[in-house]
């Protein structure tokens, strides 16, 4: 997971450098007033997202394969807790109804 994150960050930094060079050389438009830095970051994000999606497909699959078993365990634990809570509520409801009768 850390490897995927670092690779994605590297692609973003590369895009940031390219966009910065294009903006300051006049090829790409500058942002308005003090928004130039935000403009460069947004353009970099816009470019790096599809590049990461295509270039890091195998690494993303590896990362999801590592996360999936942990997520399944967590989901099962939550479902068990919900079922236990539901049965406690049903028992309390039944007890209150028998006392009211």
Domain count, the chain: 2
- Whether 89 has a pLDDT exceeding 80, the answer reads no
Q: Is the pLDDT of residue 4 over 70?
A: yes
Confidence of residue 100 (pLDDT cuts 50, 70, 90): confident
Burial environment of residue 61 by CB neighbours within 10 A (0 to 12, 13 to 18, 19 or more): exposed
Q: Do 92 and 71 share a structural domain?
A: yes
Residue range of the domain that includes 3: 1-55
Q: 5-56, pLDDT tens digit by residue?
A: 999 999 999 999 999 999 888 888 887 776 788 989 999 999 999 999 999 9
Burial of 62 per CB tally in 10 Å (0-12, 13-18, 19+): middle
Q: Are both 76 and 101 inside the same structural domain?
A: yes
- Residue 100 CB neighbour total at 10 angstroms: 6
**Pair (13, 45) in one structural domain:** yes
Residue 70 confidence (pLDDT) above 70: yes
pTM above 0.75, yes or no: no
Lookup: tokens for 79 = 């479902």
- 39 and 14 fall within a common domain: yes
Residues 32 and 75 grouped into a single domain? no
User: Same structural domain for residues 18 and 49?
Assistant: yes
Indicate if 51 and 3 belong to the same structural domain: yes
pLDDT at 101: 66
**Gyration radius of the chain's alpha carbons:** 26
The pLDDT, as a whole number, for residue 76 is 87
If asked whether residues 70 and 101 sit together in one domain, one would say yes
Task: State whether 47 and 74 are in the same domain.
Answer: no
20 & 69 share domain: no
pLDDT given for residue 36 in this prediction: 84
Q: Are residues 39 and 79 in the same domain?
A: no
**pLDDT: which is higher, 67 or 10:** 10
Distances (CA, A) of 13 to 7, 17, 48: 10, 6, 9
């Amino acid at each position: 997971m850390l490897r995927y994150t670092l690779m994605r960050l590297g692609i973003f930094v590369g895009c940031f450098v390219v966009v910065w060079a294009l903006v300051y050389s006049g090829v790409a438009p500058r942002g308005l007033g003090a928004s130039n830095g935000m403009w460069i970051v947004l353009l970099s994000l816009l470019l790096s997202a599809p590049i990461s999606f295509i270039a890091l497909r195998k690494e993303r699959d590896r990362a999801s394969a590592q996360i999936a078993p942990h997520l399944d365990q967590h989901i099962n634990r939550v479902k068990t807790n919900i079922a236990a809570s539901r049965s406690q509520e049903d028992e309390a409801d039944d007890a209150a109804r028998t006392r009211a009768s």
